[in-house]
C-alpha cells in the first residue's frame, strides 16, 4: 500500500531552527584515538538493512563519559511542552550549533568514513556521501521526557569544500545519525528508539533499539523514513549527539 504523503508530512518532525550565532564549543579531543574496534555495520533485524544500521562501540565508554561531563556545561534549552500544529510532541533539553569543523572530525577521525564506504553498505546512503551535517544537535532526555511518533525530514545543506576554503558542495541529507552516550550502565532506563515498519504504531510491528553507550544508530529519513519515536525515559538521563549523512545533490 502506498504511503499517505500528506499524513506523513503532517507528522514530520520540524526542520531544525537556525542555529544561534554563538561560536562552537571547544569539544573534547577523541581520546583514545578512534576507532577502538573494527566498525561493522549491522541491521537490528533482517530485512531492515536498507532502513536502519547500527555501529556498536563507535565510541568507548570513557570517551562517552568525558563528553557527557562536557555537554552538561553547555546552555541546554528545554523544548516547549506544546508543539506547533503538525509537529510531534517532544519534551527534552537540547543544544544546537553550526560547526563544520566538528562534523568533519566525526566523519574523518572516528573511522566512520571508512565503515560507511565499505562495499557492502555504500549503496544504502542514496548517493555519494561526502560528510556529515554541520548542524550538530545535543539531546538530553531526563526522567519523564520523550519524543512522540514522527518522521525526520531531509534537508539541503551546503558543506564547505575541504580543499577550497571559499567554495561549498551542495548536498542533501539522507540518513539520521544518533550517537548514544549513556545507557542502563549509567543508570538510564527506558528511552528506546522504536521504529514502525507500516506507518502505524503497533507493538506487534515495532523494532526497538535500546540506548547503548557508544552505539551509533543510523536510520533513513526523508520520503522513506520509518515512523519512529523516542520512548519515555523512566530513570537517569539519555544523552545523544545527532547529525546527518550528506550526499552530493
Top-tier CATH class for 5-15+35-248? mainly beta
Q: What is the pLDDT of residues 74-131, one digit of tens each?
A: 999 998 767 676 678 999 999 999 999 999 999 999 999 999 999 999 999 999 999 9
The upper half-sphere exposure of residue 233, i.e. CA atoms within 13 Å in the direction of its Cβ, equals: 25
- Alpha-carbon distances, residue 136 vs 27, 38, 75, 187, 239 (angstroms): 12, 25, 14, 25, 13
| pLDDT given at position 83 | 67
| pLDDT given at position 88 | 85
Query: What percentage of the chain reaches a pLDDT higher than 90?
Result: 81
| pLDDT given at position 19 | 43
Q: What is the pLDDT of residues 24-82, one digit of tens each?
A: 999 999 999 999 999 999 998 888 899 999 999 999 999 999 999 999 999 999 987 67
| pLDDT given at position 86 | 67
Smallest CA-to-CA distance from 245 within 112, 82, 48 is with 112
Mean pLDDT on 199-226:
96
- State yes or no: pLDDT of 20 exceeds 50: no
Name which residue leads in pLDDT, 163 or 136: 136
| pTM (predicted TM-score) | 0.91
Going by pLDDT thresholds of 50, 70 and 90, the confidence category of residue 12 is low
| 103 membership: H or E segment, kind and range | helix 100-108
Cβ proximity of 94 and 138 under 8 Å: yes
Average of per-residue pLDDT values in the chain:
90
Amino acid at each position: 500500500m502506498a504511503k499517505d504523503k500528506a499524513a506523513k508530512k503532517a507528522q514530520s518532525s520540524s526542520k531544525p531552527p537556525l542555529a544561534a550565532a554563538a561560536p562552537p564549543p571547544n569539544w573534547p579531543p577523541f581520546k583514545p584515538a578512534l576507532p577502538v574496534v573494527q566498525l561493522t555495520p549491522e541491521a537490528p533485524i533482517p530485512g531492515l538493512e536498507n532502513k536502519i544500521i547500527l555501529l556498536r562501540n563507535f565510541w568507548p565508554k570513557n570517551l562517552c563519559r568525558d563528553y557527557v561531563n562536557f555537554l552538561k556545561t553547555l546552555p541546554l534549552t528545554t523544548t516547549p511542552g506544546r508543539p506547533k500544529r503538525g509537529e510531534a510532541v517532544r519534551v527534552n533539553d537540547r543544544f544546537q550549533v553550526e560547526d563544520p569543523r566538528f562534523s568533519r572530525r566525526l566523519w574523518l577521525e572516528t573511522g566512520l568514513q571508512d565503515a560507511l564506504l565499505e562495499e557492502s553498505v555504500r549503496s544504502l546512503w542514496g548517493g555519494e556521501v561526502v560528510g556529515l551535517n554541520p548542524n550538530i544537535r545535543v539531546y538530553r532526555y531526563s526522567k519523564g521526557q520523550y519524543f512522540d511518533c514522527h518522521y525526520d525530514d531531509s534537508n539541503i545543506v551546503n558543506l564547505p569544500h575541504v580543499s577550497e576554503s571559499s567554495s561549498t558542495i551542495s548536498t542533501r541529507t539522507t540518513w539520521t545519525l544518533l550517537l548514544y552516550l549513556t545507557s542502563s550502565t549509567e543508570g538510564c532506563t527506558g528511552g528506546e528508539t522504536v521504529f514502525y515498519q507500516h506507518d502505524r504504531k503497533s507493538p506487534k510491528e515495532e523494532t526497538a533499539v535500546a540506548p547503548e553507550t557508544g552505539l551509533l544508530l543510523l536510520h533513513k529519513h526523508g520520503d522513506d523514513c520509518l515512523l519512529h519515536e523516542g520512548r519515555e525515559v523512566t530513570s537517569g538521563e539519555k544523552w545523544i549527539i545527532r547529525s546527518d549523512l550528506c550526499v552530493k545533490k
